[in-house]
Amino acid sequence: MKQFSYRHTLTACYLGYVSQAVVNNLGPLLFSTFQRQFNIGVGSLALLISLNFGIQLLVDLATVHFVDRIGYRAAAVAAGVFCSVGLCSMGILPFIFKDPYIGLVIAVVINAIGGGLLEVLVSPIVEALPLGNKGAAMSLLHSFYCWGFVAVVLLSTIYFSFIGIEHWRVLPFLWILPSLASLLLFSRAPMQPLVEDKTGVAPLRKLFKKRTFLLILLMMICAGASEQAMCQWASFFAEAGLGVSKVMGDLLGPCAFAVLMGLSRVFFGTRKEEQPLERILLGASLLCLASYFVTVFSPFPLLSLAGCAFCGLSVGIMWPGTFSLASRIFPRGGTAMFAMFALAGDAGCGFGPGIVGIVMKETTLNKGLFTATVFPLLMFVGILLQNEGTYK
């Protein structure tokens, strides 16, 4: 145990977010392949997305009650195990079951349990570490999900180019490496208990009576939905809707989306406090809305892909920006308040892409993606209402 330091713990947390990016985004990269190889419809693909984030949401709720009993170390190791088993299942179970879709559903559920555990555990573990510059560490931590997303798209695209998309079933086995590395580090690296001074912390029942709190919950839902509606469908939309090659579509669509999302989060983490937060969020909402319009209505595929990329730049600020706004408005909200905001964000991550998929199934790909414009629009209105003091 002595040879491991808190830097190893921090590295394990970074790898944990990379693992979460893998389990959330590897499947959507293969949606077109699943559709062709297994004859799975758009509606069923949308259900996989909603199932993933729905299970993660339930795990978030459950973890709050049992993590203190079993300890953060055991829970973090279990998260790595679930992610590793889930990814292996993705490459095995569809070929075992008579209905391949059942195999994919089981793999998604196992992955979602691991992803949900990581969502709850990683930030508190880093928060408890005795680090010199904790703010910078937390900012870098949350950007690692984006860099993990970039790695998933970039390295998977290289794999498809040299090995071939027809051999995709081997790829999930390669992507268990971050999960295995994180669980090994979590099993040995030192951890500190997260001690919170509950003196003066506002109870949730009082917060739920405040309209501003409910408004911010809605904004968190919209932030998650705006992000994942584009993120989860970008690869499928580029290949099936825009007609571009998978390599070009993935690199200029979801990969560029993830790069710009990561850069925006790094910017947000290093911004000066005097910069008006509401103005940043209003600008992000408008940029997100414009990005969706360009992606859906541009007659040029490359311009549509650029719209997808700039959507990443905008949504990267929405989630942490809304958290910061809530922290300023409710300084005594405590951990339970932020857990509620995380749950609201995860709920948006689940039903946002689900709604897009349902509309796609009944109409067209473009109309389905256009449906998601309602989320940045509601986000914009919510910021205006809060800024003007309409809700108290």
Distance CA 115, CA 187 (A): 18
The 8-class DSSP code of residue 276 comes to -
- Confirm if 51 and 346 have CB atoms less than 8 A apart: no
Is there a single domain that holds both residue 270 and residue 373?
A: yes
Distance CA 384, CA 392 (A): 13
Is there a single domain that holds both residue 185 and residue 315?
A: no
Question: Which structure tokens are listed for 291?
Answer: 């990005």
Helix (H, G, I), strand (E, B) or coil at 391: coil
| 243: region left, alpha or beta (phi > 0 left; psi from -120 to 50 alpha) | left
Encode pLDDT of 172-221 as tens digits: 999 999 999 999 999 999 987 755 555 555 666 778 888 888 999 999 99
Distance CA 177, CA 227 (A): 26
Is there a single domain that holds both residue 223 and residue 260?
A: yes
- Give the CATH number, domain containing residue 356: 1.20.1250.20
Burial status of residue 253 (CB atoms within 10 A of its CB: 0-12, 13-18, 19 or more)? buried
Given 171, 195, 219, which residue is the final one in a domain? 195
Burial status of residue 96 (CB atoms within 10 A of its CB: 0-12, 13-18, 19 or more)? exposed
Distance CA 347, CA 219 (A): 11
Distance CA 204, CA 139 (A): 26
Give the Cα-Cα-Cα angle 115, 73, 75 (nearest 5 degrees). 35
Distance CA 80, CA 94 (A): 22
Given 145, 172, 195, which residue is the final one in a domain? 195
Question: Which structure tokens are listed for 170?
Answer: 């081997």
The pTM of this model reads: 0.82
* Total count of domains within the chain: 2
CA 248 centroid distance within chain = 23
Distance CA 158, CA 63 (A): 37
Place of tokens 């998601």: 372
Closest CA to 123 of 142, 151, 143: 142
- Confirm if 222 and 230 have CB atoms less than 8 A apart: no
Residue 310: predicted pLDDT: 93
Is there a single domain that holds both residue 357 and residue 371?
A: yes
Is there a single domain that holds both residue 225 and residue 319?
A: yes
> Which amino acid does the sequence have at 225?
A
Residue 390: predicted pLDDT: 44
Encode pLDDT of 65-107 as tens digits: 777 678 889 999 999 999 999 999 999 999 999 999 999 999 9
Residue spans of the chain under pLDDT 70: 1-2, 64, 68, 131-139, 194-204, 269, 271-275, 333-336, 388-392
Distance CA 225, CA 17 (A): 19
Given 174, 195, 216, which residue is the final one in a domain? 195
Instruction: Say how many C-beta atoms besides its own lie within 10 A of residue 94's C-beta.
Output: 22
Give the Cα-Cα-Cα angle 392, 278, 221 (nearest 5 degrees). 70
Write the DSSP assignment of 103-138 as a string of letters.
Answer: HHHHHHHHHHHHHHHHHHHHHHHHHHS--SSHHHHH
Distance CA 364, CA 283 (A): 29
Is there a single domain that holds both residue 155 and residue 209?
A: no
Is there a single domain that holds both residue 131 and residue 265?
A: no
- Confirm if 89 and 107 have CB atoms less than 8 A apart: yes
Is there a single domain that holds both residue 311 and residue 377?
A: yes
Domain that holds residue 273: 196-392
CA 320 centroid distance within chain = 12
Is there a single domain that holds both residue 207 and residue 333?
A: yes
Is there a single domain that holds both residue 202 and residue 319?
A: yes
